[in-house]
Amino acid sequence: MNQLDALKQFTTVVADTGDFLQIAQFKPRDATTNPSLILKAVQKPEYAPLLTQTLSRFGTRDLGEVMDRLLVRFGCEILTHIPGRVSTEVDARLSFDTEATVARGQRIIELYQAEGVHIDRVLIKIASTWEGIQAAAQLERQGIHTNLTLLFSFCQAVACGQAKVQLISPFVGRIYDWYKKQAGASWDEAARAGVNDPGVQSVQRIYNHYKKHGIATEVMGASFRNLGQITALAGCDLLTIAPDLLAQLAASEAPLVRALDASAAQQLDLLPVQYDTASFRYALNDDAMGTEKLAEGIRAFAADTFKLETLMKV
């Protein structure tokens, strides 16, 4: 059995790509997208027609609406290749505007429904700011399920659990990147691999907290840099993995065992944690890595959204 098939015994495998023609060979259940992945896809000849067709039909509309229609077009194509859900992201520039995020999430769902897609097959992807988490809570109460992304800090995960969001996406690789950069020449790759990887440890802490305290929110590790990070999180609810790493898993027959286990987590001595607005903001501020990577991630997604808009204006 290859590692990809072995992983599927413990964990729901999700494809992290806008390149839907690559998806079928790996048979993931779900798929995730973001502005950077869609920007990359529309610049490939095989996907350029989706942009052209969207512009020909809706190019005179508000630019934000045209963007959402393009994202939904990709999402609908992806859903033809998977049995589960697709995650579609709200404009990162709305990350600090709760009401605007709610409105954009509602519109994305309406666009999917107009294409005949059931509401349960879509996750609205929102940055894990305090405002984004509150928007997600509102959407969840309306029956619109959410995926809270750009999640780096434990306090973000706790607040998402409190908000009863459907799913969170802690970013393993970007946490690893931050600690590696901070360490500089003193970084010991071998010593900080696998279960000692700071990104892996972050997800493990969140997973254990959720399972210990009966929090139903799904944990989906994201943003992987190597196979070791993935195999060290076997047993996590879901893992969203880029096509190149899915291919490496499929090509490997190395042993793979469950690393995270809900039953074991329930036996741990972990105190419950809660945050309100002030305590959340302080906790995030106190986490330099979480603060810096959240801000950096929002800037990067906003920049790629702007680039997509520029393509639409040509």
111 C-beta neighbours (distance < 10 Å), count:
20
| DSSP E strand stretches across the chain | 12-16, 30-32, 86-89, 122-127, 146-151, 167-170, 218-221, 238-241
Catalytic residue among 125, 211, 212, 293: 125
296 vs 32, 121, 201, 292, 302, CA distance in Å? Answer: 20, 29, 21, 6, 10
- Is 125 tagged catalytic? yes
**d(Cα 239, Cα 253) in Å, to the nearest integer?**
19
The whole-angstrom separation of Cα 25 and Cα 10 is 20
CA distances from 159 to 32, 137, 153, 154, 165 (A): 22, 10, 10, 9, 9
Residues with catalytic function: 125
